[in-house]
Structure 1
Amino acid sequence: MRIFYIALSLIVFLLSSPTAFAQLTLNGKITDKNNKPIPGATIKLVEKKLVQFTDQDGAFEFTDLAPGTYNFTSSYIGYETRNTRFNLQAGKTQFNVILQDKDNNLQGVEITGRKEQAYKNTKSFSGTKTETALRYVPQSISYVTKEVIDDQLAFKASDIIKNISGATHFSYYNNDISLRGFRSGNALINGLRTPTSSWSQPLLPNVERIEVIKGPASALFANADPGGIVNTVTKKPLDEARKSINFATGSWNTNRLMADFTGPMNESKTLLYRLNLAYQNAESFRVLQGGEDIVIAPSISFIPDEKTQVNFDFVYSKTKSRLDRGQPIFGATAGTNLNSTPISFALGKRNDFENELNLYVTTSLQRKISKNVTFNASYMKFLYDEDLLEHRTSNRYAVDAAGVAIPTKMEMQTIRRQGKNYSDNITAYFVTDLKTGPLTHKVVTGYDYIQNESPVGNSNYNATGYRKLDGTVGNYNKNTPNLFVMKDGAPVPNVPHFDLVNPDYSISEISGYVNASSQTDPAKYYQHGIYIQDQISFGQFQALIGLRQEFYTDVLNYKKTTEKKIEQKALLPRFGLVYSPFDQASFYGTYTEGYQPQSAAQIGDPARFGGPFDPLISNMVEFGAKTEFFEKRLSANISFYRIEQNNVLVNAGNPGNTEELTQIGQQRSKGIELDINGSILPNFSLTANFAVSRNETTKSDKPELIGVLAANAPKAQGGLWTKYTFLNPDLKGLGIAAGVNYTGKRNTLNTALELPEYTLFSTALYYSIDKFKISANLNNVFNKTHWVGGYDFNRLYPGAPRNFMIGIGYTF
């Protein structure tokens, strides 16, 4: 009993003591060296893994802390990250941090990761091949950061096109978009050219940001599309530990899991790692579409000393799905009713499949040779592997005995294809810092080599056409019906027609058709170039002068006795000037040229494609302004441009030869674009874009084509996405977001068919508590029926109806 009273007395004493088990509140401010508050800065309490963001006065607060010594990490865009220790005790609860301006030892190649956690990005490698502040790049570069990707719960590249000015979909396929009115198919990963063989959209879990370099970029990246080129920047290791796991589920039985782990592997932080993992299993609003995706993407950075940096990336991306060729509607003879079939309508069979593997390895090196000279090099090896079975249209409607098209039935074909494609990309260059009197130079001299090969052994197994009495197949000829098998007064197709009124998606055995097996001809092209570029600084001006000599070789009849090299070359200039009258604004002008050789097949097979054809030549003149507001948290960029491209190839529209091409002469695109990214307040972020443009044919041998607008190129397009996080203590952790996107009317490849304009609304709700973040996104709130792109009556690409995603993330 005595022991009981002693214990009880001790407890009463401890509870009554004003200092025993006291929970303290830590207050503080983060300022710059001039004692100016830094709103929106991040401060992390390491031991408890708590994160706070400073308010408009640079203040932060941690509550319910026991006395003791704690470690803090403080960071903000444009400032050095600072690690500090603080001994918290009664009477000592005020903790202030001063951050120093970050005078970057700029990287030549992107090896260590971006620590910014905002909608705004401040620097880019892709615009100049060196890390340069975007406001000093004399060309428009749009981007979408991983924070926007995360807030919109985007998973594939097609989900984020809406955030880029002047960019619209052409189809569902990989990198098939329209930029400034020109169809674009080129793509980069970390500034290195990749093949565009795959059909599936690239995945985003390992993506730091998507950049779009507007206009011809041939002076930097060899042959490139005139409207622009997309550069995917992958996540790189950080020198601080960050870990997160995210799960999402939603419409069409979507289930998604992602993980991101990064940090140092040793105490000296000379070895850093990052591991991104992702898995998704989802269906689609489209019949028999959807599939399974998996991504495994480790990355390692080795920084043995201040002069050497090495990075290694490995990305394994596997997709199991079906190839969605789009929505067919009733034929032109029945009018242009886009609603004659539902947007969910697709062609195909249950046993169709499209299995794709994208695997690439990248190694990058930066070595500082001397105080003024740095050597940079990167190498990428890329593999694409495809295994395909599809029932698809022959791009024609079925015909009756008189050869008249039946607008509700599609002529079909089957394709069974297996093949691989390999690509090698090497770039090596020196960056030299010089001074000549009042001028400061950053000179880049380098060499690129790109090689792409489809090896021997790729194969097709196809069935198409109408059955003939002699057991063969061919295109039906109304003048010789006696050569074809007829049933009920109509020719019998080799692959049964697809009825748009009564669709049949049942399993179909392709062995029952008359098939033709053929080896896909091996193919190879390679290109290399030497270039020199000088970024000259003098006072408030910065000039960029660049020149590239490009050599392109396409091998015709590769691996055959008739092998022949088709060689083309071009000298490509680039000039730009930036004027920065004050720190928050820059004004620029630029002139650049682009070049795209026609393929050897198109040049070398006039019987199939027509021709001969001249190479594509383009040029661009662009002027613009780049500004920053709200303590440099928000950037706004406006550009005015004119692009001309000559010798454009389009389908000739010859029903007797659907592959015949014709050169329409010249296309010209003029427009205005606006991009806004960042934060108005630390808790109020936005990304916005707007574009007004006109891309039309200005020269052609066919007068009827002059003035015709380019396919899938609206005159007006724009979007807005905003996110607001409440700071009120009663609503702490709660955030809301809303977005709107508009796309104007567009032509298709068939000028008789126009796609209507549309406006879509989206919204999201977020709640963060401790280490958890819960989000709910609703897209296409008003369930607007719309089409994001289209080819013709038999291949349209509808956008998704109303859909939702719910996500939960855990950071530790």
Structure 2
Amino acid sequence: MRKILFIILFTSIHIIAFAQQKTLIQGHIQNPNGQALDGVTVSLVEQKSTTMTDVKGNFQFSTDLKGKLTIKALLIGYNMATSKVDIQDTNVKQIKLILIPSDETLQTVEITGRKEKNYTNSVSFAGTKTAAEIKDVPQSIQYVTKELMQDQGAVRMTDIVKNVSGVNQYTFYDDVSIRGFRNQGGVGSNSSNQLFNGLRTFNGFWRQNLLNYLERVEVIKGPASALFGNANPGGTINKVTKKPLDTTLRSINFQLGSFNTVRTNADFTGPMNKEKTLLYRLNLGYENANSFRDLLFDKNIVVAPSLSYIPSDRTRINFDLVYNKSNSRLDRGQSIFGSTDLYSTPTSLNVADINDFLNEETYLVTTSVSHKLTDHITFNTSFLRTGYRQDLFEHRSTAFAVDEKGKQIQELAFRRASLRHNEQFSDSFTAYLSSDFKTGPLQHMLVTGYDYNNSVIPIGSSQQDATGYRLKDGSVTAKYVVKDSAKYEMYSYKGKMIPKPNVPSFDLSKNTHSLLDVNGYVYAANNTDVVVPSYSQQHSIYVQDQISINRLKVLLGLRYDTYLTDMGYKTSQVERVKQTALLPRFGLTYEVSRNINAYATYTTGYNPQTASSQNSKSGGPFDPLKSNLLEAGLKTDWFNNRLSATASVYKIEQRNALYNALDPDNPDLMIQIGKDISKGVEMDVVGYITPNLNIIATYAYIHAVLKGAQGGADSLYNNQQKPNTPKHMGSLWAKYQFSNPLLNGLGLGAGAYYVGNRTFGFQGQQSILPSKGPSYLLFNAAIYYKIDKVQLQLNMNNITNKTHWVGGYDSSRLYPGAPRNWLTSVTYSF
């Protein structure tokens, strides 16, 4: 008993003595006008502790450290402030900091890097082609920052956009739907719907590249044609690369995870001279990973340097390069028995074979210049060159094999093989003047400009397909005709004689792969959109005025586009199609209060029809797809702009959809009818409630239907929810960083992702429609621990090991999601 009392007394004395040695640091933070700033994130660097100012701008720390300590203060919209405090005794220390408003928004082209270090991003350059506060843009613009990507371990597009309302994965490819409209824009597309640093580009589509070089991903909801020309009516994805910073930061990241995943990333940035007029950034990436899917692997190399030259406060010049080289196999999805039982084969099943390969190279080169001609007029210009090369060999399933009587054998997938070489290039150029001026009580931000872009598939691309059935005379025919069975080669399968295919069928019940003798295949040329020489170009002029009067902001825009495409480019069968479009845009934003903006918008859009439908054989050329958007909503900021919330309602209508005319004498003939209508509600919340708690939450209700389909098989979707579009979907992610001295450096993350029932895709009259894709709810978590310059991270995804499908076309191409998996990361910053 005496020993216990002694220990208690001894401990108490030490605690009191320890407490008496602590120094109290008290501070006050204000802006240059003397106004107190609340919600400022304040850090005591050496102690690795963080707090926030109260409504009076005050903060305090208690520390037992001695010597010169560093206080840092950060608030969105202000430059970071730093102060030194010398602790030599236990007296109370008083400090005062003044935060200066940031001039980052003075960039009219995004050239130097974003300094915000959390899930928030206050400015978008893509929404209006000027640096605009997102809350002032009369259209829904959602984003995902690199900090959120890092915390979730998200390295590919479909994982990143799960944090954006109304965006759903469509396939395994670089392929999503936005508000019910599929967003592709891949190789062979004459109407790419992706932007890279605000400039039109295309993507490889067949697989998803590593995105370790991105600062953020923005989704501009609704047709953005008035800004960028032809665009997807659901929305446009803009990839923004990491730009150089004027402070030195370096980090190396190493990852190990499920499916033998190995990744290494590096990010270096800083000034290259004392004057900080020349800045650099270098991002490197390496990946070697397998998959839960049979035979699948990914080997990637990414090199992404960036340079910024700022010779004066009037001129900024930037150069960006992203080079990606990959070796992989193309994944066409899971095949199932029959048409409805999704569980009849394992989700790992893949009908590809060992011979298959997909080798790709992509480069994107961007240059940007921004120059202030006067204090009120700025000239901006940017140029992007995109290049792509692909070499592919694949086995894929298209239907079921048949027996001698023509009856389907539902455990035997009928396959074809494709050998493809493809090249595609595009150029995108923009030049515009932005000027701010007043006319009476009206404040204007006027933008006038010219855009040009082109896309070319040169002569030299080709595709050969091996498909059909073998005849006894050594030739191949596309179909098996029962009455002519004597002409076909036959072989024995489970006691039955069945027609021999050109390419060996895949036995779903055995699920075995082998190295095939592909030299015996009989090939025929296949002139698909991705290999037929083509050339398209677009010339555009536009004017846009953002008018402010008191609390009201009005956006008026008008764009004129001329679109030309040459099918059979540089061949004797060239066919030219020329189309024009006049695209108005109108929007209102009203500041209801300091924290709430209400907005409404009307925008129009168009998209050229697919290249294959523009020839005379199909009945073309056809008028482009035309769309319009009506949208209204609220954009709010809370806790001193640390947390933003957006709520919107919308209606999108797209006209001029193409359908097969069902003419037996002209099977390729198309007709132009139909209407796509999407109505919905969206809510997004992103930011940090306290310095320790970051959060992002989304919800979307989407009612997207097809109307006016032309009979036949296509009518299955008439008045039904569009393919791969859930009516309800939502996500939640939160990260908490402990500041308690005992748990200092420890962080926890957790989230959930929900997708409702969907109808899978439908591809033509011969496809078999499987059952609806079941809804699914996934749970993810993460744990972080930082020691000095090293951060350890563990991400756990699909914790409950939920079997689910992210999308699908038909019974031969279903896209299951990954089972339970994990990823560990070690990051060293110096």
TM-score by length of 2: 0.90
1:203-218 maps to which residues of 2 (within 5 A)?
Answer: 203-218=210-225
Name the structure 2 match of 1:128. Answer: 128
1:373 lines up with 2:381 in the alignment:
no
Residue 671 of structure 1 and its aligned partner are, at CA, apart by 0.3
| Alignment partner of 1:767 out of 785, 791, 808 | 785
CA contact (8 A) 2:381 2:431 kept: yes
C-alpha RMSD of the superposition = 2.4
| Alignment partner of 2:320 out of 313, 319, 324 | 313
Name the structure 2 match of 1:76. Answer: 75
Residue 521 of structure 1 and its aligned partner are, at CA, apart by 2.8
Amino acid of the structure 2 residue aligned with 1:158: T
1:779 lines up with 2:797 in the alignment:
yes
Name the structure 1 match of 2:12. Answer: none
What is the CA deviation profile of residues 674-719 of structure 1, one whole-angstrom value per residue up to 9, with x for unaligned ones? 0000011111110000001100023334366431210001110001
SS at match of 1:810: strand
1:483-632 maps to which residues of 2 (within 5 A)?
Answer: 483-488=487-492, 489-516=497-524, 520-606=531-617, 609=618, 613-632=622-641
CA distance in 1, matches of 2:564, 2:40: 52
CA contact (8 A) 2:25 2:92 kept: no
CA contact (8 A) 2:628 2:652 kept: yes
Name the structure 1 match of 2:290. Answer: 283
TM-score by length of 1: 0.92
1:451 lines up with 2:454 in the alignment:
yes
Name the structure 2 match of 1:194. Answer: 201
CA contact (8 A) 2:105 2:131 kept: no
Residue 744 of structure 1 and its aligned partner are, at CA, apart by 0.5
1:809 lines up with 2:820 in the alignment:
no
Name the structure 2 match of 1:13. Answer: none
What is the CA deviation profile of residues 23-59 of structure 1, one whole-angstrom value per residue up to 9, with x for unaligned ones? 99683536222463544525585xx7x8653335464
CA contact (8 A) 2:145 2:215 kept: yes
Name the structure 2 match of 1:141. Answer: 141
Label 1:465 to 1:780 Cα distance change in 2 as closer, same or farther (>3 A). same
SS at match of 2:106: coil
Name the structure 2 match of 1:164. Answer: 164
CA contact (8 A) 2:305 2:322 kept: yes
Q: Percent identity?
A: 47
CA contact (8 A) 1:42 1:51 kept: no
| Alignment partner of 1:795 out of 786, 796, 813 | 813
Residue 73 of structure 1 and its aligned partner are, at CA, apart by 5.5
Name the structure 2 match of 1:339. Answer: 343
Question: Structure 2: 5+ residue runs without aligned partners?
Answer: 1-20, 185-192, 763-768
What is the CA deviation profile of residues 348-381 of structure 1, one whole-angstrom value per residue up to 9, with x for unaligned ones? 1112111111111100000000121100010011
What is the CA deviation profile of residues 557-613 of structure 1, one whole-angstrom value per residue up to 9, with x for unaligned ones? 21112323210110001000000022211000000011011134311053xx56664
CA distance in 1, matches of 2:367, 2:305: 12
Residue 522 of structure 1 and its aligned partner are, at CA, apart by 1.6
Residue 482 of structure 1 and its aligned partner are, at CA, apart by 3.3
CA contact (8 A) 1:26 1:65 kept: no
Amino acid of the structure 1 residue aligned with 2:652: I
Label 1:75 to 1:327 Cα distance change in 2 as closer, same or farther (>3 A). same
Name the structure 2 match of 1:16. Answer: none
Name the structure 2 match of 1:472. Answer: 475
Amino acid of the structure 2 residue aligned with 1:769: I
Residue 64 of structure 1 and its aligned partner are, at CA, apart by 6.6
Residue 472 of structure 1 and its aligned partner are, at CA, apart by 1.8
CA distance in 2, matches of 1:296, 1:650: 43
Question: Structure 1: 5+ residue runs without aligned partners?
Answer: 1-22
Name the structure 2 match of 1:31. Answer: 29
What is the CA deviation profile of residues 595-643 of structure 1, one whole-angstrom value per residue up to 9, with x for unaligned ones? 011134311053xx56664320111100000001122211000010000
Which shows bigger deviation, 785-794 or 659-668? Answer: 659-668
Amino acid of the structure 1 residue aligned with 2:651: R
Name the structure 2 match of 1:113. Answer: 113
What is the CA deviation profile of residues 481-508 of structure 1, one whole-angstrom value per residue up to 9, with x for unaligned ones? 2332223432110101111111231111
Name the structure 1 match of 2:410. Answer: 407
What is the CA deviation profile of residues 290-324 of structure 1, one whole-angstrom value per residue up to 9, with x for unaligned ones? 21122111111000001000000011112211100
1:732-751 maps to which residues of 2 (within 5 A)?
Answer: 732-750=744-762
CA distance in 1, matches of 2:40, 2:809: 46
CA distance in 1, matches of 2:741, 2:67: 24
| Alignment partner of 1:247 out of 234, 237, 254 | 254
What is the CA deviation profile of residues 630-659 of structure 1, one whole-angstrom value per residue up to 9, with x for unaligned ones? 222110000100000012236789999998
Amino acid of the structure 1 residue aligned with 2:245: L
Which shows bigger deviation, 645-654 or 544-553? Answer: 645-654
Which shows bigger deviation, 220-229 or 286-295? Answer: 286-295
| Alignment partner of 2:691 out of 677, 682, 688 | 682
Amino acid of the structure 2 residue aligned with 1:210: V
CA contact (8 A) 2:400 2:409 kept: yes
CA distance in 1, matches of 2:71, 2:238: 35
CA distance in 2, matches of 1:617, 1:718: 29
SS at match of 2:597: strand
CA distance in 1, matches of 2:585, 2:242: 30
CA distance in 1, matches of 2:690, 2:378: 39
What is the CA deviation profile of residues 121-143 of structure 1, one whole-angstrom value per residue up to 9, with x for unaligned ones? 11101110111001100000111
Label 1:473 to 1:371 Cα distance change in 2 as closer, same or farther (>3 A). same
Name the structure 1 match of 2:179. Answer: 180
1:428 lines up with 2:431 in the alignment:
yes
Name the structure 2 match of 1:360. Answer: 364
CA distance in 2, matches of 1:276, 1:288: 29
CA distance in 2, matches of 1:643, 1:275: 41
